[in-house]
């Protein structure tokens, strides 16, 4: 009997998806509505993401406009943005908020690339942990005589190949994001 590697591979791919979502929320100097994904507002007693309360547009490369569907929530959205770690103070014109993204300084660029690297390393650790779980399961199956020594070696090799391929994918995603940070 052979180890079913698919569930482990799916978990690894899900880790990469989470990594890509986290990268989307890193501010790079260009307007990107994803930076507001983690900003939520207390709205009628419930924490609600800003992107579910307002229309978010990118009228210029360095500007976001946020127009709430309920005008009474404008102040609450403004407070949530100020309280978040975006580092941008919104301009309130009474109907909408404008977020102007400043040019990144060299120091900020370096911080962002370090942040990308840290997230990449955490994702690689998650993949290695999943690989270890898969290998432990295969060894356990070998111990219970559910697979032969040769099948164990084949399973471990397949798991390692998947891990290597996905770690290369993480490196490519990180390099692309770092290039985006440095170009702006």
Domain residue spans of the chain: 6-24+105-183, 33-100
Contacts of 33 (CB under 8 A, 6+ apart): 51, 56, 58, 64
Check whether domain 6-24+105-183 has CATH 3.40.640.10, yes or no: no
CATH number for 33-100: choose from 3.40.109.10, 3.30.1360.40, 1.10.10.60, 3.20.20.70: 3.30.1360.40
pLDDT of residue 83: 86
pLDDT of residue 27: 67
SS3 content of the chain, % helix, strand, coil (to 5): 60, 15, 25
pLDDT of residue 183: 75
Rounded Cα distance between 139 and 155, Å, is: 10
Per-residue pLDDT 10s for the chain (184 aa) are 678 889 999 999 999 999 998 888 776 767 778 878 888 888 888 888 888 888 988 888 888 899 999 888 888 888 888 888 777 888 888 888 998 887 778 888 888 899 999 999 999 999 999 999 999 999 999 898 888 899 999 999 999 999 999 999 999 999 998 888 887 6
- ∠ at Cα 128 (18, 172), nearest 5°? 55
CATH topology agreement for domains 6-24+105-183 and 33-100: no
């Amino acid at each position: 009997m052979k180890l079913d590697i698919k569930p482990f591979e799916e978990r690894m791919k899900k880790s990469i998806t989470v990594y890509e979502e986290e990268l989307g929320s890193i501010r790079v100097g260009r307007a990107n509505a994803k930076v507001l994904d983690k900003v939520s507002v207390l709205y009628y007693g419930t924490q609600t993401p800003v992107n579910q309360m307002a229309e978010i547009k990118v009228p210029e490369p360095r500007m976001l406009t946020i127009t709430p569907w309920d005008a009474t929530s404008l102040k609450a959205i403004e407070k949530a943005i100020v309280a978040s770690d975006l580092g941008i103070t919104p301009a309130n014109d009474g109907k909408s908020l404008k977020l102007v993204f400043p040019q990144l300084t060299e120091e900020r660029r370096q911080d962002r690339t370090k942040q990308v690297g840290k997230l990449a390393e955490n994702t690689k650790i998650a993949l290695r942990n999943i690989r270890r779980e898969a290998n432990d399961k295969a060894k356990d199956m070998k111990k219970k005589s559910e697979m032969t020594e040769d099948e164990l070696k084949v399973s471990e090799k397949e798991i390692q190949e998947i891990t290597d391929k996905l770690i290369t994918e993480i490196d490519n995603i990180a390099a692309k994001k770092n290039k985006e940070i440095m170009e702006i």
